[in-house]
Chains A and B, each alone.
Chain A
Amino acid sequence: MNISRRQILILLPAAAVAWKSVLAGTPEASPNYKMTDHWWSMLIDIPKCIGCGNCVRACQTENDVPDGFFRTWVERYHVTDYHMENPEVISPDGGKEGFPVAVADEGKYFFVPKMCNHCTDSPCTQVCPVGATFTGPDGVVLIDPKYCLGCAYCVQACPYGCRYIHPEKKVADKCTLCYHRITKGLTTACCEACPTGARQLIDLKNPKDPIHEFLKTHDVQVLKPQMATGAKAFYNGLDGSVR
């Protein structure tokens, strides 16, 4: 078969367009969803969290998380003046049923919801020996349960302690940022159930997302920035004692 220079010049852009649509992709369950249009993440507004545990319960219901394991959990910090470096942290059953009543004293209390940070440079995906966990084209770190061996390297690698080995499936499991919901245009179960708006699903690629204005006007941090994980769970009003 002979292809002239003219034909090559015509075919190349067409091939480029075709390849681009392959790269963009659409999860089969959500035909109108285009992965490359999104860069998902979460905003956690500490001053709004009341420690009700709604997010933990909603997550367990939505994702069939087994008892005693958590894709998201809430910690309560108690920091006193002399122990900034050593806060007292409790999280009874992940905060699922709320927290014991705190009595005002010289220290300060606050709640810190925790979850997968959906890191841009996730340590967990880098250590996977079989390519069972990955950062998708839309910024969500996912696990392929059919490929996972259950070796738990990723469980050790995650600096945020967000992964666990599922006791029945024997594979790694963690927050999917409710991938089955966000691809259908819904918010995550934890955001849906949060009564105060302390958790908000954000899309950094959506120019209309209010997160851009929020990040400009608030003091927002990520957890363990020194680990250079590219964490995307943004915490507003985070105390320095939080690890």
Chain B
Amino acid sequence: MSVFKDAGHLFRFAGLFVLAFILFLVIRHFVVPKSFGQYGHYRAASIGEIAAHQVKYAGHETCETCHAEVFDVKKDGKHAHVNCEACHGALAKHADDPGAMTPTKPDTAVICARCHTASAAKPKGFPQVVPADHSTGLPCETCHQPHNPGMDAAAPKAPVKAAGGAK
């Protein structure tokens, strides 16, 4: 034991070290969330928390379960691939409980113009008009059924001045 004769201070220091390390492990055990490190250097439980957020756009499959007749109108038209909520807005609340929230009918002057107002920045093949020239102020749905906007789908209810026309 002569080797350790004057080593008492070293053992006390080592003991202190061990104690501090145990204290560190104890604090760490309580401070670090349980799921931290499950998949990587982050709290795995946060993935579930983010996944639990509320959905606001119901999705067109949900709309179709009740509004199949609209899909029948849409399916052959140019708007077949425009989803319901692209124009009607987020309607998950309506889908959850149709009575709780009734969607308002979109204003075609705003909704249609958003996509179809002529601009040199839009792709060439995309149907575009100068609204003032095209409809002489009449609402779009006078001639175009928004769910199937082709002219053969709905006969014009009122004559439209030809001048200007589709550009």
**A residues engaging B (CB < 8 A)?**
22-23, 25, 27-30, 33, 35, 47-54, 58, 61-63, 76, 78, 98-99, 101-105, 109-111, 131-137, 142, 144-147, 176, 179-181, 183-184, 186-187, 189, 192-197
Contacts and interface: CB of A to CB of B under 8 A. Distances in A.
Given A101-B117, A102-B119, A111-B121, A133 B57 contact: no
20 contacts: A30-B51, A47-B123, A48-B123, A50-B123, A58-B85, A61-B56, A61-B57, A61-B90, A101-B120, A109-B120, A136-B39, A147-B42, A180-B50, A180-B53, A184-B51, A187-B59, A192-B85, A192-B86, A193-B86, A195-B81
A29 B41 CA distance: 22
Given A48-B123, A109-B120, A193 B83 contact: yes
Contacts of A192: 57, 59-60, 83, 85-86
B55 A181 contact: yes
Interface of B: 36, 38-44, 46-57, 59-60, 79, 81-83, 85-87, 89-90, 114-115, 117-123, 126
A80 B104 CA distance: 43
Nearest to A134: B42
Contact of A50 (B38, B54, B122): B122
Best-buried of A35, A50, A76, A176 by chain B (most CB within 10 Å):
A50
B114 A53 contact: yes
A110 to B, nearest CB: 7
B39 A137 contact: yes
A55 B159 CA distance: 35
A28 B57 contact: no
Given A25-B39, A101-B118, A133-B42, A179 B51 contact: yes
Nearest to B36: A131
Given A29-B52, A62-B90, A78-B121, 19 more contacts: A27-B47, A27-B51, A27-B52, A35-B47, A50-B126, A58-B90, A61-B57, A63-B53, A105-B120, A135-B40, A142-B50, A146-B43, A147-B43, A180-B55, A186-B57, A192-B59, A192-B60, A195-B81, A195-B82
